[in-house]
């Protein structure tokens, strides 16, 4: 009988390296590894060699940065999707793309299963597995970390050494870090105590706002149909634009978040994030929407933003509702074209200017000067009719007590 073939989502770290060997033995399987490069600062050099040395029959590395930004991050940005109002979801939007990568490799290689290195209590296992199920229902998914016998990092190390798995002799970080171009997530260690402020060494790329330059920096971001296309007047592709904003934002201490969040499995967890590019772009994008969207669309879209964020966070990227809501979002973005000028200063962002040929801001309506063209008298009738239901209530023996003196 032909051997089982498993595609492993491989980072080259301890967990996924041990996984290659462990799966190969436990399932008597052929292992193929797939690594997606989403712009992590951590080196992916040598990952292929390491996978093959560890026992994989084949190893693929894909530069997915452009696809990640243009097909995943841009959607979240257009939707204004910030989980629980704050987290720009770098990890959560990366997972469906990595799930797709696994499925593509599995189909191309004729594999029976895919495996990932997520723990049994996090969100990422849900995102990977629901993603894989949605894209290729015949594939089996294996989560060794939920199954295997190792109870600690030390036990994994012992196994690695005993099996000749190349492991780096670098000092262990006390944190669990997931990173890509859109942002970095950092948890574990002392961060597990929500009464303790994050120590400086937990942050990977941003400077402490206190130590950011004393001088402010002005930047102008250009958008077309809700998508950022230029920085300071220079047209840039997605990877360049986000990389530049990440580095610039990080140097001004922008994009640090310290959050308690509700996980899919019901646990509350504490995680810190560094997402300079995502935070700047969400800020600028929403400034433009304030200028351009009509009142009803603007208000309705806020509800949709929240729903889209929950769907992404909960691993439902490849779902009918996500698609339908994104069709709505895309239609709202038709006119989100224009420029936003921002000031970055010691961890904060301030708007200096916003402009668009589709701006609905009408100065002659808004002004309190002689230039005013708004018909003030029209407000009288409007308010009479608008307030009528409440006047009617007040004229009856209503039970609402507004505590008005009789």
Residues with catalytic annotation?
15, 95, 124, 176
Q: Does 38 bind ligand ARG (CB under 6 A)?
A: no
The answer to whether residues 183 and 255 touch, using CB atoms and an 8 Å cutoff, is yes
The first and second tokens of residue 330, run together, are: 């895309």
Q: Does 186 bind ligand ARG (CB under 6 A)?
A: yes
Which listed residue (15, 30, 129, 271) binds ligand ARG by CB under 6 A? 271
Stretch that binds ligand ARG, among 2-10, 85-93, 153-161, 199-207 (CB under 6 A): 85-93
**What Å distances lie between residue 59 and 90, 106, 349, CA to CA?**
25, 12, 43
Q: How far apart are CA 72 and CA 96, in angstroms?
A: 9
What CA dihedral angle connects 309, 289, 207 and 219, to 10 degrees? 150
- Distance of alpha carbon 394 from the chain centroid: 48
DSSP lists the bridge partners of residue 6 as 31, 113
11 contributes a contact to ligand ARG by CB under 6 A? no
Q: Measured from the CB atom, is 123 or 134 closer to ligand ARG? A: 123
CB of residue 135 to ligand ARG, shortest distance in Å = 20
The residue from 58, 176, 251, 310 that contacts ligand ARG (CB under 6 A) is 176
Is residue 190 left, alpha or beta, with left meaning phi > 0 and alpha meaning psi from -120 to 50?
A: alpha
The residue (of 117 and 253) whose beta carbon lies closer to ligand ARG is: 117
Interacting residue with ligand ARG among 67, 187, 330, 339 (CB under 6 A): 187
Q: Which stretch binds ligand ARG (CB under 6 A): 38-46, 88-96, 349-357, 389-397?
A: 88-96
- Could you give the string, one character per residue 109-128, with x where binding to ligand ARG holds by CB under 6 A and - elsewhere? --------------x-----
- Per-residue interface string for the shown chain with ligand ARG, residues 301-340, x marking contact by CB under 6 A: ----------------------------------------
Cα separation, 243 vs 40, in Å, equals 11
Interatomic CA distance for residues 132 and 265, integer angstroms: 19
Binding of residue 56 to ligand ARG (CB under 6 A): no
SS3 62: strand
Q: Which is nearer to ligand ARG, 30 or 178 (CB)?
A: 178
Residue 372: CA count within 13 A, CB half-sphere: 9
* Cβ partners under 8 Å of residue 137, min gap 6: none
Asked if 130 is part of the footprint of ligand ARG (rule: CB under 6 A), the reply reads: no
**Site residues (CB under 6 A) for ligand ARG?**
89, 91-92, 123, 176-178, 185-187, 271
């Amino acid at each position: 009988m032909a051997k089982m073939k498993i595609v492993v989502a491989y980072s080259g770290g301890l967990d996924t390296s041990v996984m290659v060997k462990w799966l190969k033995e436990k399932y008597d399987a052929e292992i193929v590894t797939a690594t997606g490069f989403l712009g992590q600062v951590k080196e992916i050099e040598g990952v292929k060699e390491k996978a093959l040395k560890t026992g994989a029959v084949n190893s693929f590395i894909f530069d997915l940065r452009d696809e990640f930004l243009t097909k995943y991050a841009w959607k979240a940005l257009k939707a204004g999707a910030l989980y629980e109002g704050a987290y720009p979801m770098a990890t959560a939007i990366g997972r469906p793309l990595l799930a797709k990568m696994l499925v593509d490799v599995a189909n191309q290689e004729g594999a029976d299963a895919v495996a990932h290195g997520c723990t049994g209590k996090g969100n990422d296992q849900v995102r990977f597995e629901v993603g894989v199920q949605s894209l290729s229902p015949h594939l089996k998914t294996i989560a060794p970390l939920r199954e295997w016998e190792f109870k600690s990092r030390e036990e994994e190390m012992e196994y690695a050494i005993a099996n000749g798995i190349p492991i780096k002799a670098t000092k262990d970080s006390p944190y669990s870090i997931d990173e890509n171009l859109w942002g970095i997530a950092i948890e574990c260690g002392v961060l597990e105590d929500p009464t303790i402020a994050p120590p400086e060494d937990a942050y990977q790329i941003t400077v402490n706002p206190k130590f950011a330059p004393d001088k402010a920096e002005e930047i102008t971001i250009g958008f077309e149909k809700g998508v950022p296309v230029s920085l300071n007047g220079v047209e840039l592709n997605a990877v360049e634009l986000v990389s530049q904003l990440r580095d610039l934002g990080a140097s001004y201490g922008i994009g640090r978040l310290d959050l308690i969040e509700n996980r899919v499995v019901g646990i509350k967890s504490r995680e810190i994030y560094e997402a300079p590019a995502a935070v700047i772009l969400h800020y600028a994008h929403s400034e433009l929407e304030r200028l351009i969207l009509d009142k009803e669309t603007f208000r309705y879209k806020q509800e949709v933003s929240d729903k889209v964020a929950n769907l992404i966070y909960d691993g439902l990227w490849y779902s009918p509702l996500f698609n339908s809501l994104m069709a709505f979002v895309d239609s709202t973005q038709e006119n989100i074209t224009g420029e936003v000028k921002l000031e970055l200063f010691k961890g904060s962002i301030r708007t200096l200017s916003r402009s668009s040929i589709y701006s609905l801001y009408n100065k002659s309506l808004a002004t309190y000067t002689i230039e005013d063209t708004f018909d003030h008298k029209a407000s009288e009738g409007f308010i009479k009719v608008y307030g009528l239901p409440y006047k009617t209530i007040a004229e009856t023996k209503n039970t609402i007590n507004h505590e008005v003196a009789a």
